[in-house]
Amino acid sequence: MTFIYLSIWISALIGVILIAWIRSFDIYEKEAFIAMLWAFIAGGITSVMIALGAYEFLRAFGLNDEVISNALGSLLVIGPVEEFAKLIGLVVVYSLIRKQFNELTDGIIYMSCVALGFSIIENYFYANAGENSQYLLVYRAFISTPAHISFSVIIGYAWYRYKKENKPFSTVIVALLIASLLHGIFDALAFTPGYNLLLLLYLWFIIMQSLRLVQYTNVISPFRPRFEALLETPSGETAHGVECPNCGSSAPKELFINSYFTSCRCDSCGNHIASRNDIRRIFRIFAPEYKRLLRKLVPVRFSDGRIVMSVYGSAFFNSSGNAGFFRVSDVARKLQAINDDLLDRFRKRSFISANLLKQFFE
């Protein structure tokens, strides 16, 4: 098999994996995989065509690849052209599947699919451009692809607010300028010899900022259910033979079942009992920090001398067994505190100025 065909399959595989990964951040009202794939294809093709047309137009004025392949060209030409192209790709996608845009996270998700399509097609062109293209494909797949997505998420966020929340179009323009600047800095570092480590650090910074933006939209999502509300009404079913990991009671227990997790309530001590996976889901869904549960487990000593493993001081596991226990009010307070802290940290650590933050997030 020649490399040109192999690169097609590699690019396609990378695309599918990344789309699935992007979709995992859409917690409360997941987008249909087929709609995201359509955005990936239609948005990617549109954005690449726009970018190629823009570059062809600039060549008429002598701005060819040799002229713009430097730091200044990255900031003034490459960043603005490619981010504008991806914005047009999103506009086309929105016109085709506008009904799917019903929460802020959707703007980010579909913009990510457009950026991914753009990057995969661009990777294909680069991979078959000349010698050592195999190494270039690997580099671009693992560096440029996440970079393209990270630059553009703020455009998707701003586009949703403009179309669905009647924010002024200047919000989109400002987002485009920010994305263009982020993109331009990345390419400027890539074109400058000896800056590989700084380039990786910069990419990590942009990815973390983009992830915080996704977390922000999840916390304020209108589809995010209230944790306590899911545990107000039992399902009508009863769990038998379940021993409470707190008090040891094996009496029948009322089950609480919803689309996110399952638990049962011990009437002897008032705690809810849930599996380790279900407790992980609770914190993943209602306080979306995207961290592994094991990183948050710490030992604590109860007043009766027992030593248990604690998650945020609100849910607990014995040293043996897979079941944990918690009080609804304690977990609810902790979830609220985590989300309040997340929003506060997002505003304080954002690379966007205070005035722009007010325009974007209030």
The type of residue at 269 is C
Confidence band, pLDDT 50/70/90 cuts, at residue 287: confident
Q: What is the spatial distance between Cα 216 and Cα 210, in angstroms, rounded to a whole number?
A: 10
Q: With 60 as the cut, is the pLDDT of residue 357 above it?
A: no
Higher pLDDT, 358 or 325: 325
Q: Note the pLDDT of residue 354.
A: 46
Residues in the chain: 362
Mean pLDDT of 172-200: 91
Mean pLDDT of 317-334: 88
Q: With 70 as the cut, is the pLDDT of residue 148 above it?
A: yes
Q: With 70 as the cut, is the pLDDT of residue 265 above it?
A: yes
Confidence band, pLDDT 50/70/90 cuts, at residue 294: low
* Structure confidence by residue, pLDDT tens digits, 330-341: 999 999 999 998
* DSSP-derived secondary structure for 237-288: -EE-SPPPTTT---S-EEEEE-SS-EEEE-TTT--EEEEHHHHHHHHHHHS-
Are the C-beta atoms of 203 and 150 separated by less than 8 Å?
yes
Report CA Rg, the chain: 24
Q: What is the spatial distance between Cα 102 and Cα 159, in angstroms, rounded to a whole number?
A: 12
* Structure confidence by residue, pLDDT tens digits, 233-253: 999 999 998 999 999 999 999
Are the C-beta atoms of 342 and 215 separated by less than 8 Å?
yes
Query: In DSSP terms, which residues pair with 30 in a beta bridge?
Result: none
* Structure confidence by residue, pLDDT tens digits, 214-238: 888 888 888 888 999 999 999 999 9
Sequence ranges of the domains in the chain? 3-219, 228-344
Q: Note the pLDDT of residue 359.
A: 56
Confidence band, pLDDT 50/70/90 cuts, at residue 20: confident
Confidence band, pLDDT 50/70/90 cuts, at residue 361: low
The type of residue at 65 is D
Q: Note the pLDDT of residue 244.
A: 93
Q: With 60 as the cut, is the pLDDT of residue 132 above it?
A: no
Count other Cβ atoms within 10 Å, centred on residue 291: 11
Confidence band, pLDDT 50/70/90 cuts, at residue 207: confident
Are the C-beta atoms of 263 and 256 separated by less than 8 Å?
yes
pTM given for the model: 0.85
* Structure confidence by residue, pLDDT tens digits, 77-129: 999 999 999 999 999 999 999 888 999 999 999 999 999 999 888 877 776 66
What percent of the chain is predicted at pLDDT more than 70?
87
Q: What is the spatial distance between Cα 76 and Cα 187, in angstroms, rounded to a whole number?
A: 11
Mean pLDDT of 129-146: 65
Mean pLDDT of 293-300: 79
Q: With 60 as the cut, is the pLDDT of residue 1 above it?
A: no
Place of tokens 């918690």: 326
Mean pLDDT of 157-164: 93
Are the C-beta atoms of 74 and 184 separated by less than 8 Å?
yes
184 alpha-carbon distance from chain centroid: 22
Q: Note the pLDDT of residue 343.
A: 82
Query: In DSSP terms, which residues pair with 326 in a beta bridge?
Result: 272, 315
